[in-house]
Amino acid sequence: MKNNLINILKLSCIAFGIFILLRAVSELLYMHARAFIKVDGKIYIVKPYKDTSLKTILEQNGIAIGEHDMVSRDTNKSIKPFQTIKIIRVSKKQKEILEQIPFRVICSKQYNSNLRKIELQKGIEKSITKTISEVFYDGLLHETIVVNENIRTKKLYRLLLLDKNGKIEKSYDLSKTKNIKMIATAYYPGDPLAWGNGTVTVLGQKMQRGIVAVDPKIIPLRTRLFITGYGYGYAGDTGNLIKGNRIDLGVNNVQEEKAWMHREVTVYVLGKSDTY
């Protein structure tokens, strides 16, 4: 019995001794072990301590952590021997991008009674302003986030001048075209009150629907026009009574002339041209 007790005490002492030895070896290894911090393209070799937080070690090595930076370990905890801590620098930039959506036709109408074929289109144009945030990881673009999006829709009219084959010769955005409010009258081929008995214009052109008389001080001769309710017009004539914001529209007959007497119209000034 006595021998058994002695053997148990011996084994206990040996076990305790081994424990103490392992603990001492562990502490020794811990004291000489190193950990690694990877940041900004560099590797910092640091000494871990059980009672020292990662935050403190970073401060000791002059490594600052930004608001958005990512750290692979909680900075309030200590680090272990041979552990590698990775720090990703995260930066954000905001910018605005303007995206234009091409003109889309809602409805259109063609006119071919005045000198040449034209098409009036009603449509919408969209512009999208996006506020985006670009997120960079260590200087490289990681993702793009749309923060805000503002869509603006604008209704507008577009006038197309068409050639004989119906192809677009020229396009005008009427929202950007100079326009004048004018009082209209009308005259017709053979009108006895018109210059040259209403058969030929001051430019020597044949009097017909689409030729209009203007005050050259307001609208120069040989100017292409678009008149609301009337259609395409060409400034090819003048008149003694056509002064200031007055326009005399060439029509087909006396009935049309009466219908156009003293009507308010909007005249869009498209530009000068030697031809219709």
What are the C-alpha distances in Å from 158 to residues 105, 179, 225, 226?
Answer: 9, 14, 13, 11
The pLDDT assigned to 4 comes to: 62
CATH architecture of 178-272: Beta Barrel (2.40)
The per-residue pLDDT of the chain, averaged, comes to 90
CATH 2.40.40.10 in the chain: give the residue spans: 178-272
* Cβ–Cβ under 8 Å, residues 83 and 35: yes
The pLDDT assigned to 194 comes to: 79
Q: Rounded distance, CA 260 to CA 184, Å?
A: 7
Q: Rounded distance, CA 197 to CA 190, Å?
A: 6
The pLDDT assigned to 203 comes to: 94
Residue identified by tokens 């058969």 is 199
Q: Rounded distance, CA 118 to CA 106, Å?
A: 17
* Cβ–Cβ under 8 Å, residues 160 and 269: no
Q: Is 6 helix (H, G, I), strand (E, B) or coil?
A: helix
User: Nearest Cα to 232, choosing from 276, 199, 202?
Assistant: 276
The pLDDT assigned to 197 comes to: 73
32-88, CATH topology level: Ubiquitin-like (UB roll) (3.10.20)
The pLDDT assigned to 190 comes to: 86
The pLDDT assigned to 274 comes to: 95
The pLDDT assigned to 11 comes to: 61
The pLDDT assigned to 9 comes to: 59
The pLDDT assigned to 17 comes to: 61
Taking 70 as the pLDDT cut, the residues of the chain under it are 1-32, 195-196
The pLDDT assigned to 191 comes to: 86
The pLDDT assigned to 199 comes to: 85
Q: What is the full DSSP assignment across 152-182?
A: EEEEEEEEEEE-TTS-EEEEEEGGGS-EEEE
What are the C-alpha distances in Å from 79 to residues 4, 50, 55, 56, 190?
Answer: 46, 7, 10, 11, 104
CATH 3.10.20.90 in the chain: give the residue spans: 32-88
